[in-house]
Amino acid sequence: MIQIEQTVGTRIAGFILAGLLLPGVTFGQSIPSLKDTFKNDFGIGTALNNAQFEERDPKMTQFIVHQFNMATPENSMKSALIHPTWSNYNFEPSDKLVQFGKKHNIKINGHTLIWHSQLPPFMRGIRSADSVRTFFNDHIKTVAGRYDGKIFSWDVVNEALNEDGTMRKTVFLDYLGEDYVTEAFRLAQQASPNTELYYNDYNNEQPAKRAGCLALIKKIQAAGVRIDGVGIQGHWHVGRVPFKEIEESILQYAALGLQVMFTEVDIEVLPRNFQGAEVSQRMTANEQSNPYVNGLPDSVQQQLAADYEALFKLFLKHKDKVTRVTFWGVNDAQSWLNNWPIRGRTSYPLLFDRNNQPKPAFYRVVALKK
């Protein structure tokens, strides 16, 4: 009995001590906060799924609010979900997301107005430029218009480029031509004048794709249309994070007067035979494809920690240009990498484990500010 009381007493004393010594630590909440740690540097965001912004689990809500000050809906604002049939919109989930942001002081980045993936099923049957144009205009006007002044920013166009920097062949390119990206920004600006407007892509830190991305941005600017920032998604692989290209990209995008954001950061530890985040690309499972079902080996854990530390060091070095770092998910359990490009794997790409416990990578990142 006495022993138990002593243990409890020591633990309480420990919490109080931690609260006094570590910035961002309050009594009963012994994990440092990312958003507080980097409050003078850049915003810290996460992708949120519907269960999270509907606050189905109060502990999860508390955790999110403690760690993040920005959020992107993982799926709810994609056109297939927010615009399921030609004349029907489903705003309910996204309205809840906006409420969540308002209540907890979390800035919302809308994701995304124009993307070739997760399109409404009716878009598959469309065979005329007029119909594509009507969808394009109505969708941007209605969705961006509804959230004007209510969300902080939009990924206006997502993934319009190929790896070689040319324009990706999509229903929008096919029917509307190359200017559709500029057009999308023009319409978003009209519908939502109080929202920041971004172009978002993966691998746009790589030289050829980056060159295409810079050209695309210049074209928008030359047309006198507003673009405020560029998002580098940041779906990278452990031990192969392209630090040099990332730094070069920060400098080159910022030179165009744009904010630079890392919008979907995760670092894959599982085997994959290609780079990037092409959602339609799949791999076939084999005996080697899901190696860490029972836990991550220490060597990989340490490499992941080193990669995240180097990444945040770079972000801090350019904190005058980098305005936001968003993780693609709160914790490893939520990560899309458990199901892409192979279903049902056990991945470990984020800073928090499956129980929202900080991983070594988290402590290395936070220690950069000590």
Binding stretches for ligand XIL (CB under 6 A): 74-75, 158, 233, 264, 277, 279, 336
Return the closest-CA partner of residue 197 out of 152, 235, 241, 239.
152
Residues 63/327, Cβ–Cβ less than 8 Å: no
Return the closest-CA partner of residue 262 out of 216, 212, 316.
316
Residues 46/329, Cβ–Cβ less than 8 Å: yes
Catalytically annotated residue among 183, 205, 264, 309: 264
Element (H, E) at 113: strand 107-114
Place of tokens 């779906």: 235
Closest CB to ligand XIL among residues 158, 192: 158
Catalytically annotated residue among 159, 205, 268, 309: 159
Distance CA 125, CA 242 (A): 40
Closest CB to ligand XIL among residues 158, 301: 158
Q: How far is the CB of 357 from ligand XIL (least distance, A)?
A: 22
| Cβ-proximal residue to ligand XIL, closest one | 336
Closest CB to ligand XIL among residues 253, 340: 340
Residues 369/38, Cβ–Cβ less than 8 Å: yes
Structure tokens at 57: 């689990």
Q: How far is the CB of 76 from ligand XIL (least distance, A)?
A: 10
Bridge pairing between strands 322-327 and 43-48: parallel
Residue type, 164: D
In the residue annotation, 205 being an active-site residue is answered as no
Q: How far is the CB of 318 from ligand XIL (least distance, A)?
A: 23
Closest CB to ligand XIL among residues 28, 121: 121
Structure tokens at 24: 């961002």
Report the 10 Å Cβ neighbour count for 299: 8
Phi, psi of 358 (to 5 degrees): -65, 140
Closest CB to ligand XIL among residues 31, 70: 70
Q: How far is the CB of 2 from ligand XIL (least distance, A)?
A: 51
Q: How far is the CB of 48 from ligand XIL (least distance, A)?
A: 11
Which residues form the catalytic set? 159, 264
